[in-house]
Structure 1
């Protein structure tokens, strides 16, 4: 997106949470199906990582929309230990192609990212990420990591 077509109040919200229930692969598919429809209607794009019982999500959209969506997610009983890591304005969407993309990856893959390898090798999960490490994970996506395996 060029600066000529910048969206007003475009933000991203990056958060992590722990699943309070056991999600099967089918449960994740059903969750994504619902999220994708909702996000498309709201003009929200984003990316979801799910590993073990931990979520890492990047949402992009207008500030008011993201605030309402985060509040809704915070009230969802399927999530616990929800932590907002980063909320900041952005010039362009990084995940404009996906209303909610999913990158199927394993903890071993996360442990190969420089600056995160020690973190994930020690058994920590997404909810333990600070903003600096969350940015490293976001940058890995921006630089093309896992993009070819993202599903919509």
Structure 2
């Protein structure tokens, strides 16, 4: 059974680009063997991530992330059984914040700031779908 999980967290302390690239590199290396795909967005010290795969593998990864000392304020935004993956092309894709049009954030939120703590999981997923559709994701 496939599931999709989306969560938000805050980085402690705010991580730099090297640390972010390390996280992405580890994800791209480890996720294929576990059958996990997904998408990560990081901006202003906030992570928002969607994970897809088998229920057990996704749950184990989420629990590990929630216990990771680099994260705080971990919030589960959505969890659902799915018939197919939305992010099958990425062991872990990353949103290219440099290509992100602020109008896209305004479409889904009161401000042009990425803040998943003030929008629903459903709205966050709609935003991710649009990011994929507008080629704002890099491998």
Q: Using structure 2 for the length normalisation, give the TM-score.
A: 0.88
SS in 1 for 2:91: coil
Contact in 1 for aligned 2:131/2:137 (Cα 8 Å)? no
More strand by share: 2
The answer to whether structure 1 residue 128 and structure 2 residue 115 are counterparts is no
Mean Cα deviation higher: 104-113 or 70-79: 104-113
Q: Which runs of structure 2 are paired with 1:72-151 in the superposition (5 Å)?
A: 72-105=64-97, 109-113=101-105, 115-116=107-108, 118-121=109-112, 123=113, 125-141=115-131, 144-145=133-134, 147=135, 149-151=136-138
Q: Which runs of 5+ in 1 are unaligned?
A: 1-8
Distance 1:136 1:77 in 2: 29
- Once the two structures are TM-superposed, the CA of residue 132 in structure 1 deviates from its matched residue by 3.1
Mean Cα deviation higher: 43-52 or 21-30: 21-30
Contact in 2 for aligned 1:20/1:77 (Cα 8 Å)? yes
1:50-73, Cα deviation, whole Å (9 max, x unpaired): 111001101000011111111000
Q: Using structure 1 for the length normalisation, give the TM-score.
A: 0.81
Q: Who is 1:3 aligned against?
A: none
Q: Which runs of 5+ in 2 are unaligned?
A: none
Q: Which has the larger radius of gyration?
A: 1
Q: How many residues align?
A: 139
4+ residue runs over 3 A deviation: none
Contact in 2 for aligned 1:45/1:97 (Cα 8 Å)? yes
